[in-house]
Amino acid sequence: MSKKKMMRASIPVEEYMFPGTVDCQGCGGAYAMRLALKALGPETMVVIPACCWSIIAGPFPTSALKMPIYHTAFETAAAMASGIKAGLEIKGKKATVMAWAGDGGTFDIGIQALSAAAERNEDIIYVCYDNEAYQNTGIQRSSATPWGAWTTTTPRKHPKDRPKKNMMEIMAAHRIPYCATSTCGHPEDFVRKLQKAKEIVGTRFVHVLATCPTGWRSPPEWQLKIPRLAVETCVFPLYEIENGVYKINKKPKEKLPVIEYLKTQGRFRHLTEEQVQYIQGEVDKNWELLLKKEKLGRIF
């Protein structure tokens, strides 16, 4: 009897997230969690500070995940994860403890606890799903909001006029064993990096770009298309910093002009040609720098 051909699976098959989560249609943050749990497996505990996932995880008495979740206060993801890990260790229990925070809870209000946990090299995985603003509270800017983007607190007449904070370098400067970027548009890459992180002891930081149709003013079905363009235009490069050594995972054969990325989202619609050129200049500069850093060997 011939074996029936089944659908191909390029990522682990088991689901740890139940359908029916209340994320917006096309939410990169929800998708990223689905992928992350496939990568890490069932022996994982998730710590969620205030962010979209505080809601996506489901109201009491429901839970969207098969594994334990600890909801915590906004600035405490890394501290709470450290405490849970210590509690488990002293009781002789093992689990992967993953802090799952938004950009606000990582770049801004959560940075103090995160820096401290990284300095202590706490044995946790910290994933920042970055939708580039305080989306859960209605699209206010964070230090992860890119230059020029509209948010409710960076209105069209005064869009964000500071560059996106370089969280990867900040984390790598703590001399932690592993930092990586990924996007929700690169599922195999994100899964691979988390699988790799799982085998490393110490603080592991993964920065995943998560599409937000609501905040970015983009069609929900472009959940993967937009982050792919972010990588192909070098706006958001895919790279790792492992023990202080940079490694770029994807060098686009044809580096697309940034306008290809910017035009997919309403939050950039107001940009003048001059502003787009400025962004192109900054992206090019940062990309050149990144290429140079890759050649320097151990930096941190």
Where in 72-101 is the site for another protein (CB under 8 A)? 72-73, 75-76, 78-91, 93, 95
Does 135 help bind another protein (rule: CB under 8 A)? no
Give least dist CB 251 to another protein, A: 24
Residue 80 CB, nearest approach to another protein (Å):
4
Q: Give the x-and-dash track for 230-269 against another protein (CB under 8 A).
A: ----------------------------------------
Rounded Cα distance between 132 and 205, Å, is 17
Asked if 111 is part of the footprint of another protein (rule: CB under 8 A), the reply reads no
Least distance between another protein and beta carbon 115 (Å): 7
Q: Decide if 192 contacts 247 (C-beta within 8 A).
A: no
Place of tokens 């994982």: 44
85 in Cβ contact with 124 (< 8 Å): yes
Does 19 bind another protein (CB under 8 A)? Our answer is yes
Residue 57, classed as helix, strand or coil, is coil
Alpha carbon distance 293, 289 (integer Å)? 6
Nearest distance in Å: CB 109, another protein: 11
- Taking the least distance from each CB to another protein, the nearer of 69 and 248 is 69
Within 13 Å of residue 286, how many CA atoms lie on the same side as its CB? Answer: 20
144/184 with CB nearer another protein: 184
> Residue 126 or 222: which CB sits closer to another protein?
222
Q: Which is nearer to another protein, 62 or 152 (CB)?
A: 62
Q: Is 297 in the site for another protein (CB under 8 A)?
A: no
Q: Would you count residue 65 as binding another protein (CB under 8 A)? A: yes
Residue among 26, 105, 148, 215 that touches another protein (CB under 8 A): 26
Binding-residue total with another protein (CB under 8 A): 79
As a whole number of angstroms, the distance between CA 98 and CA 44 comes to 7
Task: Give the CA count within 13 Å in the CB-facing half-sphere of 266.
Answer: 13
Our finding on whether 11 is near another protein (CB under 8 A) is yes
- Cβ atoms of 11 and 191 closer than 8 Å: yes
CA dist 278 → 23, 148, 185, 282 (Å): 34, 10, 25, 6
Of 113, 111, 116, 85, the residue nearest 98 (C-alpha)? 85
- Listed residue (253, 207, 262, 246) closest to 232, CA to CA: 253
Pick between residue 27 and residue 144 the one whose CB is nearest to another protein: 27
Q: Of the listed pieces 4-12, 145-153, 166-174, 291-299, which binds another protein according to CB under 8 A?
A: 4-12
Q: Does 173 bind another protein (CB under 8 A)?
A: no
Closer by beta carbon to another protein, 70 or else 300: 70
Q: Residue from 36, 40, 47, 125 that binds another protein (CB under 8 A)? A: 47
Burial of 120 (0-12, 13-18, 19+ CB in 10 A): middle
For another protein, which residue of 137, 138, 155, 220 counts as binding (CB under 8 A)?
220
